[in-house]
Amino acid sequence: MLKTINIRTKARTEFVDITSEVQGVVNDSNIKNGICYLYVPHTTAGITINEGADPSVVKDIQTVLNKLVPHNLSYSHIEGNSDSHIKSTLVGISKSVLIDNGRLLLGTWQAIFFCEFDGPRSRSIHVKILKCPDKTL
């Protein structure tokens, strides 16, 4: 089963908590045991799993990424968004989450974040739910 979550980001750099949307896809699949594979089909965005309880955590991650990869260096890419491409590569564009008893098997403080590095834009996240036999997971 493949579904696509569509979102609209509001800032150049923004982390969007998509945990409830992803859990919704899992719910719709009726798959109780399996793997939820998340794939971001963009070159200037990413996906990560980190603390969702305190919003200052993802703010700090964005601050450090912006310091590590400044917007205004003498990059070769003429489009002016090389920093966004580099951050996409550093963060990555896919994640897998185990599904147990119909629930994403995340830790207490974990949330799934879509990472915008060149917004605002319309973005997509592909979600593939793979069923596992009950006894193997």
Please give the size of the binding site for Zn ion, defined by CB under 5 A.
2
- The runs of H, that is alpha helices, within the chain are 19-29, 55-68, 82-91
The answer to whether 79 contacts Zn ion (rule: CB under 5 A) is yes
Q: Which is nearer to Zn ion, 79 or 134 (CB)?
A: 79
The closest alpha carbon to 41, from 121, 131, 110, belongs to: 121
- Look up tokens 């045991």; give the residue: 33
Q: Which is nearer to Zn ion, 62 or 84 (CB)?
A: 84
The answer to whether 134 contacts Zn ion (rule: CB under 5 A) is no
Q: Are strands 94-100 and 103-104 parallel, antiparallel or unpaired?
A: antiparallel
Least distance in angstroms from the C-beta of 85 to Zn ion: 6
Q: Which of 9, 13, 62, 81 binds Zn ion (CB under 5 A)?
A: 81
**Alpha-carbon gap, residue 12 to 66, rounded angstroms:** 11
x/- map, 23-62, Zn ion, by CB under 5 A: ----------------------------------------
Contacting range for Zn ion; rule: CB under 5 A; set: 4-12, 33-41, 74-82, 91-99: 74-82
- Residues across the chain: 137
Residues contacting residue 58 through CB under 8 Å, at least 6 positions apart:
15, 50, 51, 113
The answer to whether 80 contacts Zn ion (rule: CB under 5 A) is no
Least distance in angstroms from the C-beta of 11 to Zn ion: 18
